Homo-oligomer: A and B are copies of this chain.
Amino acid sequence: MNGFIGIDLGGTQLRVAVADARGTVKSVIRVDTEARRGPDHVIDHIVETIDRALAKSKQGRRGVAAIGIGLPGPLNGATGMVYSPANLPGWHNVPLGKILTRRTGIRTFLEHDASLAAFGEWRRGAGKGRRHMAYVTVSTGIGAGFILQGQLYRGAGGIAGELGHIVIQPGGPLCTCGNRGCLEALASGTAIARMARDAVAGRARTSLRGLEGPNRPDARDVNQAAKRGDAVARRVLDQAGTALGVGLGTLVNLLNPELILLGGSVMKAGGLIRTPMKASMKASSWEAARGGLRIVPPALGQDVGLIGAVEWARDNV
């Protein structure tokens, strides 16, 4: 009873890590989630992958004290219930925590993926020693996790941290959540791609037009075109950065964190997105609330959720 398992269950990839008692990851298996085959299949697939990961590190289930698993919300970590994540089709009120505990014989602790990323960065990454910090990832979607008063903040029902779905343009573009004008509908990679395709479909002169295809241009195309000087691509990033700044300004005014860890593929656009972001954040938050605030990239890379899941398992036993 001295090892831990961390799991990062995404819409496309399932990752399982085996760690020792101190949380050091010994082996990782990354496989396709096979999400389209529905929850029963995915759960079987998780259990098999746990056993493969244990075999790879020559351990049995008995040597594992706890499993931590992060996945997209909405979910309730306290009850282990998964409601209906947008990128896990067919999942509706699945008691995943209880199911995995029963199927593996190992106590399983479930949490929102962005919350576990925040927790991982706080325990082992760029957030060590902070009392009030936010982790924000801007990628296909926009996720956030909060450490407040020196602990993971999850709210009354485990739903806190939905930064991607705060409305910053009432009546704006439709979001995957069904509401309009959410931050995610204005500043995520998906939003950037949508704005680019709208521009291509219109009359704008842009090098993005040459890239048309299924799901193209995408956010990466926009970044590259913007770096080449394409004015339309730059305008798209400027709009996304401006929206992101409003979202961060809101975060700052409400929570007054000392640190924001800001990452995700969209941030690879660098100054093209950061410059408008900073200007609009300044125009949408109090100077006093920004005082002492640092905004830096996360430190743990693509396995941040996995490290957070291991740490969450350790924290719960």
Which of under 10, 10 to 19, 20 to 34, or 35 or more describes the interface residues of A?
35 or more
- Known A157-B288, A160-B254, A292-B156; contact A170-B167, beta-carbon cutoff 8 A: no
Main SS at interface, chain A: loop
Flag the segment in A49-57, A217-225, A255-263 that touches B: A255-263
Q: Contact: B74 with A283, CB < 8 Å?
A: no
Q: Is A139 an interface residue (CB 8 A)?
A: no
Interface string of A247-259 (1 = CB under 8 A from B): 0011101111110
Of all chain B residues, the one with the shortest Cβ separation from A74 is: B288
- Chain B residue numbers with a CB within 8 Å of A157 are 256, 258, 288-289, 291-292
- Give chain B nearest CB distance to A290 CB in angstroms: 9
A155-B283 contact given A168-B170, A246-B170, A289-B162, CB 8 Å threshold = no
The quantity of this chain's copies bound in the complex is: 2
Chain B residues within 8 Å of A159, by CB: 253, 256, 286, 288-289, 291
The segment out of A36-44, A146-154, A265-273 that lies at the interface is A146-154
Verify if A284 is at the interface (C-beta below 8 Å from B): yes
Residues of A within 8 A of B (CB): 73-74, 83, 131-132, 148-149, 151, 153-163, 165-170, 177, 179-181, 242, 246, 249-251, 253-258, 280, 283-286, 288-289, 291-293
26 A-B residue pairs with Cβ-Cβ distance under 8 Å, sorted by A, are A74-B289, A83-B288, A132-B156, A148-B148, A148-B149, A148-B153, A149-B153, A155-B255, A156-B256, A157-B291, A159-B288, A160-B255, A162-B256, A162-B289, A166-B254, A166-B284, A167-B283, A167-B284, A169-B170, A170-B246, A170-B280, A170-B284, A179-B283, A179-B285, A181-B284, A251-B254
